Structures are given as structure tokens and as C-alpha cells.
Amino acid sequence: MRNLIYGLLSVGALICSEAHTQAQNMNLAGVYEANEKANGGVRQLYAVLDFNTSQAKDFTQLFTGKTAQFQLLPEDFMNVKKLKKRFAGNTSAGFVRYREKFLLAITEELKLTNPRLEAGMIVADWENHSGVKGTCGIIVKEDKSIEFVGLTNLNRDLNPDGLTVACVEDRCLADVPRAKGTPEGVEHFVREYEKRFIKTTVTSCDPEIKVEFKGCEQVGQLVQIHLLITNQSQMEFKMAVDGTESMATDKEGNTYKDITFNFGEQSGNGKANCFMAKATPVKCTVIIPVKNGRVHLFNKVTIRSYGMGSAIFTGNHLQLDNVPVMQSVSVEEEEEFVPNASQPQSPQELVGQLPEKLPNQLIAVVKGGVNLRKGASTTAALAGKAALGEVFAFVGTEGSWNVGISSQTGEKVYIAKSMSKVVDTGVGILNTVFYTSTYANHYLNSNPTTGFERNSDYTFWTRQGDKISTVYATFNVNTTTMTGRMSSTSVNYKGQLKGWYIVLDEKVDVGGNLIEKVTPIYVYPDSNEDAVYVNGVKFVAEGI
């Protein structure tokens, strides 16, 4: 068997940095509809998304009449006379039209831009037809439906939160995993979003002292509550706070003490005071130590407070009830991919280190969709079908049939000689992970299509510290439209190097950490040229 062009990588950091940048593009595209009736009202939504190329057209380009055909929505939902004109002629990552009807009908049209994955959640920026801007999350469900979180400028009881929007036309790329967030990322985003609607109640220590809650967040092991305190009386005085007599409780019943303050000119003190001029707001930061884990909500925070000198307050503390604690996502520094330092000096040496012995010969299928039989006859039971380029371990022949072992099932199969050929194994597919230079070789598939050109490529390598049979792959898709706009998508996989084939069954991050299990992807060497077949699709080696 001809050798595949030697690859790959002693520059894992280069691949890592490219993958991290490209991961901001994601495979989510289609048409979505919702028409939900509940509580005497109705919520309706139509969305067209193209997160692959950001070439979705606005509604004035898609709808030109009074009516149109929809699967879930009324035919007049996109009446051209009622469409907003702000985005006329635009293309973008997506457009949404949302209508809420109860006593009156309220409609918003929005343009989505900059789709990205942040801390395991798909997010995008939005702008409505009035120019108001914001950021929303998008939850992708197993049935391909989606749910927006934080979309539109409407009050929460009117916006589309919680509305399931069905996918009525899927336009996602078939050979790229569908974009979706991680369970942890979605949970974090929704939880932090919900905190925006928690109303914090503030009780002052005196009617003439105004205390305003300005937010709360956890930074490391410290929670910081931000207050703005204003003296509304006709007197001027010093106000003091005392952390030794202050405390907070969370919703689980835990108690937090040892509170300190940044108040006036004093920072990090358990006891602090500040001169309160008339009608002059003063910032006060309440610092609560948290030794373990994260706090999401304080049920109650009580701050001992009093006037100094002749100032006498009507109460001896100020109190905050239902304090949401905003959380940032701590992102650990991801480990770079590093080529295996103990890499053998040749593919032949690598063969000897693999746990599984390579067969001497292979059967290569020369046509896609070839029938695999359980016996040496066209009437024998089907064992399945072979993809173009699929390779089997050769065990012998029977008449006009080649007999092999399937890498996918481990079972014996019979393949017509007219649809297959027997070749020497050589070093199998090992050249794809044996690197001889500082540059990588890509296995490229070019797919020119009307309106755009799409190139995809695979790169394979091993990693220091892993078993010699563990292999990684990066799959890149680069799309260029006729207008010259470009977008890229990148996915990392992990799997096993079997010698005469590779099987990838895990989607991983750039550090090699598991994201999710995937349907196994089989990679076979081509018997005629420097190329591989990935699930029946041919990728030809192209050196950088």
C-alpha cells in the first residue's frame, strides 16, 4: 500500500491556538417556528439562523407578499406591509420576528450577530428594530428545537423566555456536529440570567439614610455587595459599620461572618466609618468571606450600623433580603496538545509498539454502498453495506468473494471481488500520526457548491503521556461565499489508533478533555494514493 504523506505535528500549540479561534463559529442553521397559546394569550416566533456563514437574509428579502406558507404560524405572520425596515437588505447570523398577543399585540424584529460559545453556552448579540441591543443565550435541544434566553427588550412576562421554537427546516452541515452548549454551561447561564429578576429588599438603619443595592458578585472566595448610601437629613455626621456584629445567611442555611468593608477612606476593615455629608452618595462595599464553593443567593444580610457622636439612628442595623450573587465562570488554563515525546523513529517502529497486530493484507472497497454478505453467495444474508474506501482485514477467498473481518463489528464478511481488491497492509494508516517535520500535513476535501466553496480537512496526532494507541484529530471546515465572506468551524476528536484504521468516538476540547461521546467515526487509508477515507468521504494529503 502506498505510504500516506508523513504527518504531523510537532507544533501542537499552533493547532491549539487555531482551534480555539475557530471554535467561535458553530454549526447551527435552519428555520424555526413557534405558536404557543397559554393563559388567554399567544406567543409567536419565526427565526432564520445561519451561524456557519452569517449570510441569513433579513425578512424583507424573504417575504414579499401579504401571506406565506408556514408550518406552525398563521399565513399573514410575515405580511410584507407590516415588516420593519431597519434591517432591510442586511445579511447576518440570524433574524427573529416575535409577537406577543394578550389584550394588545406587541411585535419585535431582531438581528443576531457574533454567535459564539461562552463557558459552554451558545450566545449571540441582538439588536431590535428600535436600536436597543443586548445579548441572549440559545439552548439547542435533542429534537433540534431551540429556546432563546434573554431575547428582546420586552418585560419578562412578555418576552419569549421558555418558549420552545421548533426546527421546521434544518440547514446544519451534515458532516459537522451540531452546535450545542454543555449541560453545565446552560445551567450556569440560565441561573445567572434568573438572578437579574430577583428583587432585593433593603431596610435602612434610619429613615433619613437612603441605602441602595447596586449589585453583588463572588470573586474567588470573597463575595462583594455594593451599596450606595446617602445622608438625606439636615445633619452631617459620621456613620460606622461593624463586621464583628454582622452576618449573612444563604438559602441552604449556612451562616457567614468575619465581614469587612470598603467604606469611605477605609478598606478591608472589620470596623469602618465615613463622614456623611448632606445629599452626597457614598460607596460602601460589604466583603463576605466564603471558604468553600459558590454562593448563589443570600437570604439575609444584616450589617451592624450606627451613628457616631451626637448622631442617633432609629435602628441599629441595615438589612438586605434576597441578595443574588452573580458568578463568573472560572476557566482553567487549557493544556496544549503536545506531540508524543517518545514517538518512534519510523512508522515501522510504531507498528511494533501497538497492542494489536496488523493483518498482512487488507480488502479495500472500490465502490460506495457495496453489499456485505454473511456467506459466499448473492443470496446470503446481508451483513450491512460498506462505504467507499472502507477497509477490512483480509482472511482469505471463497470463489468470487473476498473474505474479511469488519473493523466496526468484528464479524466475518464476504465482499464481491468485482467490488473490492486485496492490498498489502504495509504500515497501514500509521503515517497519519507519524511526524517527520515541524509542519503538519492536512488531508483535504474540497467541495465547491453553488453560491459558496467549502474546504474541509483532518489532521491526526498523538499526545505526550497518552498510550501509544491514543490518537487525536482536528476537523476544520472553511467556507467562502461568492461575496468573499469567510467562516470556519473546528472540532477536536479523540479515539484509538488500530494500526490499519482509526476510530474516533469522543468529542474533546483543546486540552483533550471529554465533551461528549459521539457516533464512531472510522478513518481508513486509501490504497492508491496519499489519502484517507473518513466515513466514506475522501481526504487527500496536502502538505503545508
Determine the pLDDT at residue 340: 41
Could you give the CA distance from residue 231 to residue 455 in angstroms, rounded to a whole number? 66
541 touches 5 (CB < 8 A)? yes
Each residue's pLDDT tens digit, 149-201: 999 888 888 899 999 999 999 999 988 889 999 999 999 999 999 988 889 99
User: Given the C-alpha cell 482469505, which residue does it identify?
Assistant: 396
Could you give the CA distance from residue 295 to residue 289 in angstroms, rounded to a whole number? 11
**Within 13 Å of residue 344, how many CA atoms lie on the same side as its CB?**
16
Determine the pLDDT at residue 488: 64
Determine the pLDDT at residue 353: 60
Contacts of 109 (CB under 8 A, 6+ apart): 59, 83, 84, 86, 87, 95, 96, 97, 98, 128, 129
Closest CA to 191 of 96, 296, 117, 57: 296
424: amino acid identity, one letter: D
Superfamily of domain 359-416: SH3 Domains (2.30.30.40)
Determine the pLDDT at residue 496: 86
303 touches 317 (CB < 8 A)? yes
Each residue's pLDDT tens digit, 337-385: 334 444 454 555 555 565 567 788 888 888 888 999 999 999 999 998 8
User: Given the C-alpha cell 502506498, which residue does it identify?
Assistant: 2
H helices then E strands: how many in the chain? 4, 37
Distances (CA, A) of 148 to 67, 141, 193, 208, 302: 26, 11, 12, 43, 37
Show the low-confidence residues of the chain (pLDDT under 50): 1-24, 330-343, 345, 434-441, 544
pTM: 0.55
Nine-digit cell at 326? 452573580
User: Given the C-alpha cell 440570567, which residue does it identify?
Assistant: 193
HEC sequence for 271-299: EEEEEECECCCEEEEEEEECCCCCCCEEE
Domain segments of the chain as ranges = 1-26+332-357+425-544, 28-172, 206-315, 359-416
Could you give the CA distance from residue 146 to residue 437 in angstroms, rounded to a whole number? 45
Could you give the CA distance from residue 357 to residue 338 in angstroms, rounded to a whole number? 26
Distances (CA, A) of 249 to 56, 196, 321, 521: 49, 20, 10, 51
Which strands, in side-by-side order, build the sheet including 29-38?
A: 146-149, 133-140, 121-128, 105-118, 94-101, 41-50, 29-38, 166-170
String of b and e for 462-478 (b: at least 16 CB within 10 Å)?
Answer: bbeeeebbbbbbbbbbb
Determine the pLDDT at residue 336: 38
**Within 13 Å of residue 184, how many CA atoms lie on the same side as its CB?**
7
Determine the pLDDT at residue 440: 41
**Within 13 Å of residue 441, how many CA atoms lie on the same side as its CB?**
21
Determine the pLDDT at residue 516: 81
418: left (phi over 0), alpha (psi -120 to 50) or beta: alpha
The CATH topology of domain 206-315 is: Immunoglobulin-like (2.60.40)
Report the 10 Å Cβ neighbour count for 9: 26
- Count Cβ atoms within 10 A of the Cβ of residue 393 and give its class: 0-12 exposed, 13-18 middle, 19 or more buried: buried
